[in-house]
Amino acid sequence: MRRIVIYPGSFDPVTNGHIDIAKRGLKLFDQVIVAILNNPKKSYMFPVEERLQMLQESMASITNVEFDVFDGLLVDYAKMKNAQAILRGMRAVSDFEYEFQLALMNRKLNRDVQTVFLMTGLRWIFTSSSIIKEAARFGGDIDDMVPPVVSRKLKQKFAQYTR
């Protein structure tokens, strides 16, 4: 049986930290499904189609990674994809409480789907999509924190602020 893990997130935008977690997930699982939660009640900088395209381009060279978009309950999506686990990255203690609550709820909803936490690499510990967007807004150098496609798109979005 193939070991499949779902790596969910908004990926608005994808960062090098996200890519690091996906690659490390492949050391534990045969396949990683990077899945964007489509939540129409939230506002995002990039539409879901553009986030999906950035993920695909950023991880094109990585084998055994699939990309998808889903809505609804994560555990239902995991079951539909025959996944045994959910992969979550944690940067700091501040992430733990929220992630722990999600993991407990998911376990309550479906005891067959496990949650696996990976600590982010030290290089990415202070990297988040929100912080990167804020730095990019004011012309900060984000090139070593995001894939080239993301850097390019963020610079295009914020060109009006950096003139």
- What's the CATH number where 85 sits? 3.40.50.620
- Residue 59 inside a domain? The answer is yes
- Residue 159 inside a domain? The answer is no
Q: Which residues are catalytic?
A: 18, 42, 91, 129
Query: What's the total number of domains in the chain?
Result: 1
Q: Residue 30 to residues 40, 43, 52, 66: CA-CA distances in angstroms? A: 31, 33, 21, 11
The residue range of the domain holding 81 is 4-125
- Residue 67 inside a domain? The answer is yes
pTM for the predicted model, two decimal places: 0.93
pLDDT tens readout for residues 86-121: 999 998 777 888 999 999 999 999 999 999 999 988
pLDDT tens readout for residues 28-75: 999 999 999 988 888 999 999 999 999 999 999 999 999 999 999 999
- Residue 161 inside a domain? The answer is no
Length of the chain, in residues: 163
- Residue 36 inside a domain? The answer is yes
Q: Which residues contact 75 (CB under 8 A, 6 or more apart)?
A: 86, 106, 109, 110, 113
- Residue 150 inside a domain? The answer is no
- Residue 153 inside a domain? The answer is no
